[in-house]
Amino acid sequence: MKNIDEIIENIEESFDVNKIKINGQNYWGIFRIAYFFQHVKRNIQYSKKSNRTIFSYFRIIKDLFYGFNNFFGTYNYFLFTDSSKKIKINEKYWDKSVDELNRNLGLDETLVFETPNHKHFKIKFLHNKNIVSLLPVILLTKIVFLLTKFNKVRISGRPIIESINQKFDKIKIDPEGEVKYFLARYWVYKKLLKIYRPKAIFVDTYVGRMALIKAANDLQIKTFEIQHGFVSDVDLIYHSNLKLDKSLYPLKLLCFGALQKKLFNNNRCQIEQENIIPIGKFFVKENDKKFLFIDSINKLKSQYHLLVGFTLQRIIIDKTYDFFNYVLPRMQNVGFILIVKQNSNYHKKFHSLSDENKNFYTHYENYNFDQIIKYVDIHSSVDSTCCLEAPAFEVPNLLIDIDGAATKHMGFLKEMTSTTQIAYNDKMYIKKIENILKIQEKKNFLDDKNLIIEPNYTENIKKLTQNFTT
């Protein structure tokens, strides 16, 4: 099967999708994301979940009331995020996406809606305590969905969807179900926003929050997305040869840097150039007065000729495992540290490789990227967002081109900056690693890292929020 970007582009070229309308409105933008999620469900390798126990249901009930008293306040700004973005700084947990905004907008002025990714953190340990679980909103949405499940929805262009489903049967969607659940979410969010009337909402990603974005746009509430991951110039999330319904997209995108904005400078991007604002990215080192010293990693530097930090992508776990299986025994003088997303478990299969190869370390899963990257000489990955972040720490990238993903999504780093090289197979990786550090000697490395990640993130946030608070 082609990748999902190519599939959506093929659909939009082959079918008159603008004729697909819901109650007279063009909602193809919803269906294209529905196909995207079907592709993700089919292709991403999730670990097997254990059967729910009575304790897990008790936890869900407990999470429903997480920060519940905060619903009874008045707020000017809503921020939407999930708990996986929490990191510990100076004994408090910060959200990397929204807490700098909170601090500058005024903690009493903001309410954070958090989706529990595995769990919520105890509020007493948080930097920002004006937080609620999104679960009550999700529960209300499901109730509205069930109550309206048998309502008729007029879908114009249904034969077009049936033809798309037939051609791409492995990612086919249920159009009625998608529409009814979207409309239920839209109704709930619109009621919520009408009650509180915030000046603006900020989301960590518009994908999965389109009903919220549309409800806010329809009520003329300002909508902002805070970039959380890299978006290429061919990514279907923001790009299409069609003009899609703008009310489904945030008004402004707060992006990592000038290079990301440049990639969006094309007539396929659904967000206008003047509404794409480079602000940088939250890094632990800017906020941690006691930036954590990891003695065991520091000692590894003296044991190896080079130390490499490798970040994983869930969708290509098996092929990454094969890559390490080949490379590790052939590079005994190089130490590899696996850097994983906290609170995840898809890296567990790599523990066996660590047992077989003494130069492979998988037990630093309680440390985040910002804490580990300062110790390594090289960052390696396929196409993780960390490829953008590593140069900000003055660490060059050597990427492995599994299934062409590094070239497709991060090739611009190689072509447009001096920070990155790509190995097209495992043998080339071994050859290239000795020369990778030479790219740091180029005088424009420092300039290029600032092009990728806009410097002075905190100051940029202050300038942005002054428009709201003055």
Structural domain boundaries in the chain: 1-281, 295-452
In this chain, the answer to whether the domains covering 1-281 and 295-452 adopt an identical fold is yes
pLDDT in tens, 39-65: 888 776 544 444 555 556 677 888 999
Cα torsion 155, 160, 163, 168: sign: negative
pLDDT score of 292 more than 50: yes
3-state class (DSSP) for residue 88? strand
Q: Quote the pLDDT of residue 335.
A: 94
Task: Name, in order, each residue with C-beta under 8 angstroms of 246's C-beta and a sequence gap of 6 or more.
Answer: 217, 270
- Catalogue the E-assigned strands of 312-431: 334-339, 360-361, 378-380, 397-400, 420-423
pLDDT-based confidence at residue 286 (cuts at 50, 70, 90): low
Domain 295-452 has CATH 1.10.3810.10: no
Q: Quote the pLDDT of residue 23.
A: 81
Q: Which of 233-237, 286-290, 375-379 reaches the highest mean pLDDT?
A: 375-379
3-state class (DSSP) for residue 111? strand
Averaged pLDDT for residues 110-132: 92
pLDDT in tens, 307-356: 999 998 766 788 888 999 999 999 999 999 999 876 566 677 788 888 88
How many Cβ atoms from other residues are within 10 Å of residue 52's Cβ? 10
pLDDT score of 120 more than 50: yes
Mean pLDDT of the residues in the chain: 87
Q: Quote the pLDDT of residue 437.
A: 65
User: d(Cα 272, Cα 254) in Å, to the nearest integer?
Assistant: 12
Averaged pLDDT for residues 11-17: 94
pLDDT score of 238 more than 60: yes
Task: Name, in order, each residue with C-beta under 8 angstroms of 320's C-beta and a sequence gap of 6 or more.
Answer: 312, 313, 382, 400, 402
Strand-pair category, 131-133 with 110-115? parallel
Q: Domain 1-281: which topology?
A: Rossmann fold (3.40.50)
Q: Quote the pLDDT of residue 8.
A: 93
Question: How is residue 126 written in tokens?
Answer: 């948080």
H-assigned helices in 231-366: 258-263, 284-287, 295-300, 317-327, 351-356
Strand partners, 89: 92
* Phi, psi of 265, deg, nearest 5: -85, 70
| Cβ–Cβ < 8 Å for 212, 91 | no
User: d(Cα 299, Cα 306) in Å, to the nearest integer?
Assistant: 12
